[in-house]
Amino acid sequence: MTREKITLFDTTLRDGQQTPGVDFSVEDKIAIAAMLDEFGFDYVEGGYPGANPTDTSFFAKKRTKQAGFVAFGMTKRAGVSASNDPGLTQLLQAKADAICLVAKSWDYHVKVALGCTNEENLESIRDSVKAVVASAKTAMVDCEHFFDGYKANPDYAIACAKEAYDAGARWVVLCDTNGGTQPPEIREIVQAVIAAGIPGSSLGIHAHNDTGQAVANSLAAVEAGVRQIQGTLNGIGERCGNADLVTIIPTLCLKDTYASRFETAIDREKLVGLTRLSRAFDELLNRSPNHQSPYVGGSAFATKAGIHASALLKDPKTYEHVEPESVGNFRKVMVSDQGGKANFLNELKRRGITVAKDDPKLDTLISVVKDREASGYAYEGADASFELLALKTLGTVPDFFAVESFRVMVERRFDSHGQLKTVSEAVVKVLVDGEMVMSVAEGDGPVNALDIALRKDLGKYQSEIVDLELADYKVRILNGGTEAITRVLIESTDASGARWWTVGVSENIIDASFQALMDSIVYKLMKNRELAGQIAAE
């Protein structure tokens, strides 16, 4: 039996950006797009070029290698031709493979929000799609408020979807924008759309989670015939969030009711990276992962109950609906934790590090990582630090240089103009090939001063780090009070375009930053010698 393809469309960088408290920088978007692309999504929607400087800059060049790179924007305005609409023109000029146009499909919104006639709205949909097709980009249309619109005026909602399809849209996406539609309604309305002449192979579902049904609604739409699912990583999005692709993907891949009939771009081998992707994304957002997330949460395969633990020891299938290793997670009850060891072996293999599973150094590495994570380190979001730790534990890392000491001073004073000013200064003593070098630098803050001083003079290695740049710096307080443990995550990049993440943890924010900075520099030197970075620095 031939399985049908379910196309996976990620809108983390566009709809996910509507999440309260989430504000992606261009660097964030570049990093996340690379993560999504590497994982294997069919489409990555990057944002709305022309709507803000960040998205406009992000679309200055294509940001994916394999996934279709999608720009989002509105259909042309009523009363203006497609060729004279500045918003549509900017969309067509974006470095994207596809354009997803948002179109009104609820007549109430056409009247109130657009202030035009129903026929003018249909004309905007038709002409905009034709303009996208003419530009040789893939055309998609998000039919906003489709399900509410269908309930209010089914003929008009279907007319909007049909207009998009007939004009050449590859995908017509039915949006539950308010998130209030229930699974039986989704199924019934999708079937009506297909009966009206739009094949399921050209239909998508975009569900919001306002009644906790986004995943269920997406799967109900698949059952009814749609073959594209839109969603976000970890279900982020405005209000209550979007359909969580991190839950949907393993359900499609591992549950026989779907896996026997459908296939996705994520095979069993890629699926093993799901937990790492989910947690690395949370780290990038600088937020704590949800321990009770299906499949990938820290508690997803954990059990405390004695009777459950006893049964799990005899046969894990007694209390697990899938194998934790299948999604890159592990159970937290096994005494020997073989699942944990398998994960470590997989992570090392990805980096070209070969080690036998009975090698005592592997047990040492697992023990060190677990001790460090218990104290606040998070290696899912710091690939480079994990790789360096593994290389140090299992083999050797060259002693490029040693920092003998460093001192950071912060002075708050009035300058010659009587303005209050805060000045940070750092002094670093570095030993390179037996020669002591002392560097002094001022910076915008203590960490910036330390970074500049540390990289000011590394002797014979100085020329190797000229192109090293710190792209991002995130701080998270892990417990309360002024004595709190601090975790610092640093993102670095160089002239090759490679990116890597390093982590430091300490009661002192400067010390935590120093750890992460040191790892970043050592990793760069290792990468230059092709001793590290086959995977982590992509």
Chain segment 510-523, per-residue pLDDT in tens: 999 999 999 999 99
Mean pLDDT for the chain?
91
Listed in sequence order, the residues at least 6 apart from 393 whose beta carbon sits closer than 8 Å to its beta carbon are: 361, 364, 365, 368
Task: Give residue 536's pLDDT.
Answer: 44
Contact between 77 and 120 (Cβ < 8 Å):
no
Half-sphere exposure of 125 (CA within 13 A, CB side): 33
- The whole-angstrom separation of Cα 476 and Cα 484 is 10
Q: How many CB atoms lie within 10 A of CB 508?
A: 12
pLDDT digits (tens, 9 = 90+) for 284-338: 898 878 889 999 997 888 765 444 445 545 556 666 899 999 999 877 543 334 4
CA 180 from chain centre, in angstroms, equals: 26
pTM over 0.85, yes/no: no
In terms of DSSP bridges, do strands 203-207 and 228-231 run parallel, antiparallel, or are they unpaired? parallel
CA 49 from chain centre, in angstroms, equals: 19
Q: How many CB atoms lie within 10 A of CB 416?
A: 6
Listed in sequence order, the residues at least 6 apart from 428 whose beta carbon sits closer than 8 Å to its beta carbon are: 403, 405, 406, 438, 439, 450, 453, 454, 456
Comparing 444 with 156, the larger pLDDT belongs to 156
For residue 384, what pLDDT band results from cuts at 50, 70 and 90? very high
Place of tokens 């799990």: 312
Q: How many CB atoms lie within 10 A of CB 412?
A: 8
Which tokens belong to 453? 């001083």
pLDDT digits (tens, 9 = 90+) for 67-107: 999 999 999 999 999 999 999 999 999 999 999 999 999 99
For residue 189, what pLDDT band results from cuts at 50, 70 and 90? very high
Task: Give residue 354's pLDDT.
Answer: 85
Which tokens belong to 227? 């073959």
Task: Give residue 314's pLDDT.
Answer: 54
Task: Give residue 309's pLDDT.
Answer: 45
Task: Give residue 334's pLDDT.
Answer: 35
pLDDT digits (tens, 9 = 90+) for 225-237: 999 999 999 999 9
Select from 292, 447, 293, 289 the least CA-distant residue to 379.
Answer: 289
Select from 248, 256, 246, 212 the least CA-distant residue to 229.
Answer: 248
Contact between 282 and 288 (Cβ < 8 Å):
yes
For residue 396, what pLDDT band results from cuts at 50, 70 and 90? confident
State yes or no: pLDDT of 482 exceeds 90. no
Contact between 522 and 500 (Cβ < 8 Å):
no
Place of tokens 């699974």: 183
